[in-house]
């Protein structure tokens, strides 16, 4: 990737340039770093905007009526705002360890790669207004009995999935029943004890895309009005979906809509208009959520959709030096606010979840539950939870190297991402007491 010049941005308005700058810088990180994004997955939230992020809306329609006015829409009491809170010490430590689980991606298995400090494992998230219980694998499996839960997205989706599998495996052993694709990008497990299926689908844009490659174009191509059928073809078999995307949108890309080029992000030398990536992320989510509603809104028993919000990266200083994310403790509450790109990514995701709820109601579709899993803030406060140089085994076995690759994007397992699934479980528990229909 050539650095190129910034001249192309000169004629843009100041505010646009200010918005653009963080992700231009981001996209200029050396290509070695981009490899990170081919493998794992993450999420996170912001504080500066007042968003309706924690309300759950249950959309109920009477199946005998097709009139939207006949629908009953209930905005339910918020049980807890998981977004605001702080990390507090917890001497209990994680539910699992990396040696017994069997499903942890090598690059996130920090303990087995020789990460020396263990303090990062002894924290728990304390929401301001309530208590977040420890993960209960047996409860999770019971709630998902006879169901199929699919994680769809990029490597952050995989990171969350692997955390969940490790925690569930402490209660019941899953069988890997399907795997396909380079790097096992498509996998499915079955828990015979509860007839629960859990799967992961690689789809870093959710919409149709052609990923850049060494042999092909050096930018991604996205088709914003077509959902990616690699996962969507199985929609009728899914009962619950966790969507997690974001980081891949920072890379150079050309965008298409309605059969023609819409613009690009960081594509010097190509005759396309720079349009940034926030609106592109918005369109991709809109296409995705609307496709789910349209395909599942009228038939079957409905579907539950969770959108995990953006998980900030924590690179400090030079990305290829030993301590690119050297902190070993969480930030204190108030020490760091969700801002800039992290805030904008999160806001876009939450707004699209709200828009999709409104759309589902307006179309008179059968109920489906849509909610954001707002992890942006709790992730932002955990600079200590990434593999850093321990994405590779024993990186300092031969002394400190001049250059070392760091992963300050994904999360060590066990690690902070386990908390995403604790909140996920609380949402599912709450849903159980708020049925989607009068069954
Ligand atoms: C990992 O967990 C298993 C099962 O709980 C336990 O038997 C084993 O001793 C643990 N390993 C380490 C290194 O703590
Ligand atoms: C097991 O779960 C699947 C959904 O994942 C369902 O289609 C099937 O009917 C279930 N089997 C039994 C025996 O309940
Ligand atoms: C760039 O695109 C514009 C508008 O589509 C077109 O008029 C122009 O000829 C193109 N320039 C080149 C060098 O292809």
- DSSP, residue by residue, 262-313: EEEES-TTSS--B--SHHHHHHHHHHHHHHHHHHHSSSTT--EEEEEPP---
The verdict on residue 276 lying in a domain is yes
Task: Give the residue with greater pLDDT, 128 vs 36.
Answer: 128
Active site residue 437: no
392 φ, ψ (degrees, to nearest 5): -110, 150
Give the distance (Å) from ligand 3 centre to CA of residue 7: 18
Pull the structure tokens for residue 39: 């493998």
Give the distance (Å) from ligand 3 centre to CA of residue 270: 10
Q: What is the pLDDT of residue 106?
A: 83
Q: What is the pLDDT of residue 174?
A: 94
For ligand 1, pick from 94, 98, 99, 169 the residue to mutate: most ligand atoms within 8 Å of CB.
Answer: 99
Is 67 found in the same domain as 10?
no
Is 365 found in the same domain as 267?
yes
Is 109 found in the same domain as 15?
no
Helix, strand or coil, per DSSP, at residue 33: helix
Q: Which of 155, 291, 311, 368 is catalytic?
A: 155
Instruction: Please work out whether the CB of residue 99 comes within 6 Å of at least one atom of ligand 1.
Output: yes
Q: What is the pLDDT of residue 436?
A: 64
The verdict on residue 407 lying in a domain is yes
How does residue 183 score in pLDDT terms, banded at 50, 70 and 90?
confident
Is 112 found in the same domain as 10?
no
Active site residue 410: yes
How does residue 432 score in pLDDT terms, banded at 50, 70 and 90?
confident
Give the distance (Å) from ligand 2 centre to CA of residue 150: 15
Pull the structure tokens for residue 246: 């974001």
Looking at the 3D structure of the chain, how many domains does it have? 2
Task: Tell me what the pLDDT averaged over the chain comes to.
Answer: 82
Active site residue 67: no
Q: What is the pLDDT of residue 249?
A: 96
Q: What is the pLDDT of residue 362?
A: 82
Domain extent at residue 162: 56-438
Instruction: Please work out whether the CB of residue 145 comes within 6 Å of at least one atom of ligand 1.
Output: no
Instruction: Please work out whether the CB of residue 93 comes within 6 Å of at least one atom of ligand 1.
Output: no
The verdict on residue 348 lying in a domain is yes
Instruction: Enter the pTM of the model.
Output: 0.83
The CATH number covering residue 143 comes to: 3.40.50.1110
Express each pLDDT in 280-299 by its tens digit.
Answer: 999 999 999 999 998 987 66
Give the distance (Å) from ligand 3 centre to CA of residue 232: 35
The verdict on residue 305 lying in a domain is yes
């Amino acid at each position: 990737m050539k650095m190129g010049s910034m001249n192309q941005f000169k004629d843009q308005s100041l505010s646009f340039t200010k918005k653009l700058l963080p992700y231009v810088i981001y996209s200029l990180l050396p290509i070695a770093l981009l490899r990170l994004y081919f493998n794992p997955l993450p999420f996170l939230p912001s504080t500066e905007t007042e968003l309706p992020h924690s309300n759950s809306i249950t959309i109920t329609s009477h199946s005998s009526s097709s009139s939207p006015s006949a629908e009953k829409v209930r905005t339910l009491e918020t049980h807890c705002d998981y977004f605001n809170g702080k990390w507090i010490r917890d001497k209990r430590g994680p539910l699992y360890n990396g040696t017994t689980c069997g499903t942890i991606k090598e690059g996130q298995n920090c303990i087995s790669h020789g990460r020396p400090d263990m303090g990062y494992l002894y924290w728990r998230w304390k929401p301001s207004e309530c208590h977040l219980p420890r993960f209960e694998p047996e409860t999770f499996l019971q709630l998902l009995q006879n169901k199929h839960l699919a994680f769809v997205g990029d490597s952050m989706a995989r990171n969350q999935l692997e955390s969940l599998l490790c925690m569930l495996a402490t209660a019941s052993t899953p069988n890997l029943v399907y795997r396909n694709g380079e790097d096992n990008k498509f996998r499915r497990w079955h828990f015979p004890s509860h007839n629960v299926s859990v799967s992961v689908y690689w789809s870093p844009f959710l919409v149709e895309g052609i990923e850049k490659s060494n042999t092909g174009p050096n930018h991604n191509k996205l088709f914003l009005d077509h959902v990616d059928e690699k996962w969507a073809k199985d929609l009728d078999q899914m009962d619950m979906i966790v969507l997690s995307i974001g980081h891949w949108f920072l890379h150079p890309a050309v965008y298409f809509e309605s059969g023609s080029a819409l613009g690009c992000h960081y594509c010097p030398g190509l005759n396309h208009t720079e349009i940034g990536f926030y609106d592109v992320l918005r369109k991709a989510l809109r296409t995705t959520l609307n496709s789910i509603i349209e395909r599942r809104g009228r038939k079957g028993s409905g579907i539950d959709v969770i959108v995990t919000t953006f998980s900030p990266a924590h690179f400090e200083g030079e990305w290829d030096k030993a301590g690119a994310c050297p902190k070993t403790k969480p930030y204190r509450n108030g020490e760091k606010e969700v801002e800039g790109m992290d805030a904008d990514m999160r806001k876009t995701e939450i707004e699209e979840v709200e828009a999709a709820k409104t759309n589902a109601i307006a179309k008179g579709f059968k109920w489906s539950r849509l909610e954001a899993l707002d992890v942006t803030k709790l992730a932002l406060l955990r600079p200590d939870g990434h593999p850093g140089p321990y994405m590779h085994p024993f990186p300092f076995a031969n002394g400190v190297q001049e250059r070392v690759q760091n992963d300050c994007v994904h999360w060590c397992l066990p690690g902070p991402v386990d908390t995403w699934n604790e909140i996920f479980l609380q949402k599912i528990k709450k849903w159980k007491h708020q049925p989607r229909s009068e069954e």
